[in-house]
Amino acid sequence: MLEDAWDAAPSGDETLRPQLRIFESNASAALAGGSPASVSKNSASIAFAFGAGSLTPAAIARAWRHLIDLFDECKACLVSTDDAAIMAEMKLRLVPVSEFHKDFMLVGTI
């Protein structure tokens, strides 16, 4: 996602954060109408399902917000505030996630 924002940002300095905001706003706009669980018409229906590991629209919107917050953190701690330096610092701080699992062991104990 960060690379997509970097590629889409206009040339020049001070353009990465505004591009991140554009992508976050687009994700939020997609959420505004809600997500249909199923649709049916003329005796035909289709159901939308998210399997384990699928990203929901809300998760994508949160990811854009995380990148914006990370941008602000990196800019605050760097001497150089050009986008290339901030982007390099962001890439150093991001941790790749290759898998995850849901842990419900504490459900009901709170």
What pLDDT score does 18 carry?
92
Give the domain extent around 71: 1-28+56-95
pLDDT band at 56 (very low <50, low <70, confident <90, very high): confident
Residue 73 lies in a domain: yes
Average pLDDT score over the chain: 79
Domain count of the chain? 1
**Distance between CA atoms of residues 96 and 20, nearest Å:** 19
- pTM (two decimals): 0.64
pLDDT band at 54 (very low <50, low <70, confident <90, very high): low
Q: What tens digit of pLDDT does each residue of 58-100 get? A: 788 888 999 999 999 999 999 888 999 999 999 999 988 777 6
Residue 3 lies in a domain: yes
Residue 36 lies in a domain: no
Residue 108 lies in a domain: no
Contacts 24+ apart (CB under 8 A), 12-19: 13/82, 13/83, 14/83, 15/83, 16/71, 16/83, 16/86, 16/87, 17/68, 17/71, 17/72, 17/75
Residue 6 lies in a domain: yes
